[in-house]
Homo-oligomer: A and B are copies of this chain.
Amino acid sequence: MTREALVVGAGLAGSLTAVYLARRGFHVRVLERRGDPRAPGAREEGRSINLGLSQRGIVALREIGLLERLAPLTVPMRGRVVHLPDGTLRFQPYGVAEDQILHSVLRHDLNVALVDEADRLGVGFSWGRRVTAVDRAEPAVTTDDGTAHTADLVVGADGAFSAVRTHLGRGRRMDLHQEFLEWGYKELLIGVGDDGRPRTELRALHVWPGDEGLIVAHPNVDGSLTATVFLPFDGPHGFAGLTGAERVRSFFDRRFPDTLTLIPDLVEQFLAHPPASLVTVRTAPWHVTADEGRGIVLVGDAAHAVYPFFGQGMNAAFEDCSVLDRCLAAHPDDLPAALARFETTRRPHTDVLADLSKRNFVELRDKVRSPLFTARRKVDLALHRLFPNTWVPLYTLISHTTVPYGEALTRARRQDRVLGGVTAAVAGAALAGLARRSRNKGRWS
């Protein structure tokens, strides 16, 4: 007998879940509040932000056979280019191996590819439908047209402000931690130059660190880059204070001088859009079970929204889908057991990711340009080169492996103790030459 699955949300997590479930033999329907992303003009409606696809996301896309097809839509990023206020550029490679790179991709392109693939597998989509109620006992989801959709498995993949989660928590003991960063963001386009070529190195993530503001830019296949400007909401140098053209220009001129060259219409772009906010959400439980082996589960941002500073939001969501699929495979005839296993094995790791993503905000803001941080990072990478399997930096573990987040942190802490201890002093001296060599080897230009 075919089992029915209902996925709420056709964003990245929702459409990927739909693909996995369809491949596992479920009859799948997806409900989405917005319109079809494949419709003409839809690209402009959605969030245009591009994302860094790393190992966890890559593994999931490979599992569903979509990776090869996506390749032309991505730009490889081999490391960070750090832009310092004095105009200096500094390159920090992501890792030591050829495959330790990230891939920049537009959210919209990826979403369309996933929806197309789900469509191909027979998944049905209902666009423009808002969830108005969830019946936990059935389970069933009612939409704003009055239809009650029942299913064996309901998946809430409807984002950080998930309606499924809200309804799931009503009158139940559901923990919820929702925390906004005092910083927000705006996106600016670094268009291609008048000669039709990229205005800066394309195959890297660009970072402008700073304690008063922070910019990150991802490359696009057309040669442009999308810069995300992170600033405090309040204060004279925050979004609230940067109101007139003169103030904006003088702020960027002082803090991020080269951006005015890279983005000739920076001031106009900056003033044209309101700032968006950043939220961390943790919740528990993620699932409920109903009679006859039915149940509801949350995945992606609905279960664990994180700040974007470790570049893991999408990758963690994709890994959720992959882990959920493995749990369903392990309990083919016992959905409640599969959901319980999913939550038990997965939640501790995404809790760790939430903390790491907060920590990386501080790192990107304050430390990336510090000589001590840079030196330590070099020693870290040099040790990784010497002992590629036993010494792996935290960033590498998170971005270039599928070691669960919690285990990655434990391992990195152990390494940190070594790095901070006697060994570090000895190794530091011994590795100085190696680090120098590796820096030259690792240069991208």
Interface digits, A221-235 against B, CB 8 Å rule (1 contact, 0 not)?
000000000000100
Interface digits, A165-202 against B, CB 8 Å rule (1 contact, 0 not)?
00000000111111110000000000000000000000
A277 within 8 A of B: yes
Q: Which residues of B have CB within 8 Å of A176?
A: 176-178
Q: Complex formed: what's the CA distance from A371 to B439 in Å?
A: 62
The answer to whether A175 and B175 touch across the interface, beta carbons within 8 angstroms, is no
Q: Complex formed: what's the CA distance from A387 to B279 in Å?
A: 49
Q: Which residues of B have CB within 8 Å of A179?
A: 175, 177
Q: Which residues of B have CB within 8 Å of A279?
A: 173
The answer to whether B177 and A173 touch across the interface, beta carbons within 8 angstroms, is no
The answer to whether A178 and B175 touch across the interface, beta carbons within 8 angstroms, is yes
Q: Complex formed: what's the CA distance from A136 to B177 in Å?
A: 23
Chain A positions 271-300 with a Cβ under 8 Å from a chain B Cβ: 277, 279
Chain A positions 121-177 with a Cβ under 8 Å from a chain B Cβ: 173-177
Find the residue from A173, A177, A279 having the highest chain B CB count within 10 A. A173
Q: Which residues of B have CB within 8 Å of A277?
A: 173
Q: How far is the CB of A232 from chain B (nearest CB, A)?
A: 12
Chain A positions 207-252 with a Cβ under 8 Å from a chain B Cβ: 233
Q: Complex formed: what's the CA distance from A176 to B178 in Å?
A: 5
Q: How far is the CB of A355 from chain B (nearest CB, A)?
A: 15
Q: How far is the CB of A169 from chain B (nearest CB, A)?
A: 8
Q: Which residues of B have CB within 8 Å of A173?
A: 180, 233, 277, 279
Q: Which residues of B have CB within 8 Å of A175?
A: 178-180
Q: Which residues of B have CB within 8 Å of A233?
A: 173
Q: Complex formed: what's the CA distance from A277 to B171 in Å?
A: 10
Q: Complex formed: what's the CA distance from A179 to B283 in Å?
A: 9
Known: A173-B233, A174-B180, A176-B177. 12 other contacts (CB 8 A): A173-B180, A173-B277, A173-B279, A174-B178, A175-B178, A175-B179, A175-B180, A176-B176, A176-B178, A177-B177, A177-B178, A177-B179
A sample of 15 cross-chain residue pairs with beta-carbon separation below 8 angstroms, ordered by A number, consists of A173-B180, A173-B233, A173-B277, A173-B279, A174-B178, A174-B180, A175-B178, A175-B179, A175-B180, A176-B176, A176-B177, A176-B178, A177-B177, A177-B178, A177-B179
